[in-house]
Amino acid sequence: MAKLLDGKWVRGEILKDLAPRLERLKTEARPPGLAVVLVGENTASAVYVRNKVQACQELGIYSEKLTPPATVTTAEMREIVSGLNARPEIDGILVQMPLPPQVDTQAVLETISPVKDVDGFHPLNLGTLVSNRPGPRPCTPSGIMELLRRYEIPVQGRRAVVLGRSDIVGKPMALLLLHAHATVTLCHSRTKELDEECRRADILVAAIGRPGLVRGDWIRAGAVVVDVGINRVSERTLALDFFRDDPARQAAFDKSGSSLVGDVHPAEVGHAAAYTPVPGGVGPLTIAMLMANTVAIAERRLGLTA
């Protein structure tokens, strides 16, 4: 029976470790400050931002939410970010994705000061990631590394396969695993014999955005499976297949008409050594690492690093 890797427990441990560092900041200087820019009225983005702001409030991190309209231009977004760059009490700046199609996302991200880039998406910070130098790391991949560390899952010398090549998860995940001395294969939708590549993995990270794509025969017995996918399914035939061994989730689906699933088929992962469930696995780690990045940036800016 595969061991369940509980992201909520890891999140709690991360936040617990932040507590004395936050107390030192508040005592010797000031609370860290995080500004979040949410454009328009995207429902999913609004939920993510609300959770981030709530986490700040619970920890005592100063937070601001800026809400320009969906008609905002690239120039207006760059002006907003430039204003935040100039404010000394703001340590971290986060622009919630996705941005409207008329906005040049890359231009906006490049406007964020690298020292305030709490998501680690600025080209200079991506360079520090490639060269394995200190700097903010993208939150989801760094959260996964924390999960592996805190569950004492060895990475060095193991074969890791990352399924998905996004700038937010796939590419930085591959680099972090490589820096931890894994042998890494980065796969994507055009990889030939994708199932064969996945079967070679000691550590399989699925982040391709297709519900239940990774079936049981793609997973080597004893592998560690990290499911990054967050997909909402509303077809009952899919739900009956995904939750065929879980009557409670079937009942919850029938009640709500939809359910969240990952990129790994949830009923076919039992022969793995360990896996992250969806929901409750990787999801809680992202905001925890956002808080950790904000604290670390504030420490550097205020000269309070250990």
Residues 223-239: pLDDT tens digits? 999 999 999 999 999 99
Beta-strand runs (E) in the chain: 3-4, 33-37, 62-66, 92-95, 159-163, 183-187, 203-206, 224-227, 231-233, 259-261, 274-275
Is residue 248 in some structural domain? yes
Domain residues for 60?
A: 28-131
How many domains are there within the chain?
A: 2
For the cut 90, the answer to whether the pLDDT of residue 302 exceeds it is yes
Among residues 96, 117, 202, 227, the one annotated as catalytic is 96
Is residue 239 in some structural domain? yes
| Residues 159, 272 within the same domain | yes
pLDDT at 78: 98
Residue range 153-182: mean pLDDT, rounded: 97
* Side chain identity, residue 229: G
pLDDT at 48: 86
Strand order in the sheet with 224-227: 3-4, 274-275, 224-227, 203-206, 159-163, 183-187
| Residues 70, 147 within the same domain | no
Closest CA to 70 of 98, 48, 100: 100
Judge whether 245 counts as a catalytic residue. Answer: no
Mean pLDDT, rounded, of the chain: 96
Among residues 52, 117, 202, 263, the one annotated as catalytic is 52
Helical (H) or strand (E) element with 244 = none
**Separation between Cα atoms, residue 115 and residue 202, nearest integer Å:** 35
| Residues 148, 254 within the same domain | yes
Is residue 17 in some structural domain? no
pLDDT band at 291; cut points 50, 70, 90: very high
Among residues 91, 116, 117, 119, the one annotated as catalytic is 119
For the cut 90, the answer to whether the pLDDT of residue 162 exceeds it is yes
- What are 251-274's pLDDT values in tens digits? 999 999 999 999 999 999 999 999
| Residues 93, 218 within the same domain | no
Closest CA to 202 of 170, 144, 156: 156
For the cut 90, the answer to whether the pLDDT of residue 56 exceeds it is yes
Is residue 297 in some structural domain? no
Residue that is last in its domain, among 104, 131, 158: 131
| Residues 126, 179 within the same domain | no
Say which DSSP state 185 is in: E
Judge whether 57 counts as a catalytic residue. Answer: no
pLDDT band at 306; cut points 50, 70, 90: low
Q: Percent of the chain having pLDDT more than 90?
A: 95
Residue range 103-110: mean pLDDT, rounded: 96
184 close to 162: Cβ distance less than 8 angstroms = yes
Judge whether 96 counts as a catalytic residue. Answer: yes
**Separation between Cα atoms, residue 154 and residue 160, nearest integer Å:** 11
| Residues 206, 267 within the same domain | yes
| CATH number of the domain enclosing 226 | 3.40.50.720
- What are 18-43's pLDDT values in tens digits? 999 999 999 999 999 999 999 998 88
| Residues 178, 58 within the same domain | no
| Residues 51, 105 within the same domain | yes
- What are 189-210's pLDDT values in tens digits? 899 999 999 999 999 999 999 9
pLDDT at 224: 98
For the cut 90, the answer to whether the pLDDT of residue 44 exceeds it is no
